[in-house]
Homo-oligomer: A and B are copies of this chain.
């Protein structure tokens, strides 16, 4: 049992059993598992049928049948999507919401039991789970706009500040107020705030803040340790640059610290050049990048 593959298989076996047990907690409500899972996947605002099918990997026929059953039970109702009237949106009725709550609590209790067993190693267990899930989802990380005051964005920024405080012992919590005092400037149309998502876990962020005169500043680039080594920082930088172009900026700035070597290397590699100081302590390196407006070229036909 020294072989990694054998260990993955052990993980496999154990987790299949255990996760199965977590799932079967949904039983005992007189409904088969598949039905319960579908019901529990309907979001408060309603979910469209295609999304359910995608997330559960079900055949149209099967899902249709399940939905019909739930409808007959009076737990959901189906409405056509006004935007595309072929599509249908599933919504919970009040009775459906009550059932949903019950399933939610059942799952919660089971999950709690798993953590209880971990004893002192809860944090380690959570980290391990995040790592595995993130590795398995790594080609599905999505970068989306976020409000600077959104909990996910704040969680990222908070983690970033914690990282800074670990790296630079003379940084103190009061240097990092949350919520952000510059939230308004980091929100469109003035600036931007992007968050990278792995499923529903935020694993990275970056913000853009106007300095005036067509110049903007890139701030708070952060990638969760569980998501490192996948080029996510680069993706975030590219995204924020594209966004800056779209918002009409012509030049970018950033300040950083030479102790953060991998970040500096990334910037240089991406065309940033060192410039004279434009901020003070604690930064010790300042960089800039000239943006080129998007070129409207028409690719030859065979490029599609």
Residue numbers of A with Cβ under 8 A of B are 1-2, 4-19, 22-23, 55, 57, 107-108, 111-112, 114-115, 117-122, 124-133, 135-139, 151-152, 155, 199-202, 228-230
Q: Is A1 within 8 A of B118, CB to CB? A: no
Number of copies: 2
Given contacts A119-B229, A125-B131, 18 further A-B contacts (CB under 8 A): A4-B126, A5-B108, A5-B112, A8-B126, A9-B107, A10-B200, A11-B129, A11-B130, A12-B19, A14-B136, A14-B137, A15-B19, A19-B19, A114-B135, A117-B139, A121-B131, A124-B131, A128-B132
Q: Is B230 within 8 A of A8, CB to CB? A: no
Q: Is A13 within 8 A of B55, CB to CB? A: yes
Distance from A229 Cβ to chain B, minimum over Cβ atoms (Å): 5
Task: Among B5, B114, B228, point to the contact of A8 (Cβ < 8 A).
Answer: B114
Q: Is A138 within 8 A of B111, CB to CB? A: no
Task: Among B2, B118, B127, B199, point to the contact of A155 (Cβ < 8 A).
Answer: B2
Residue of B nearest to A2 (CB): B155
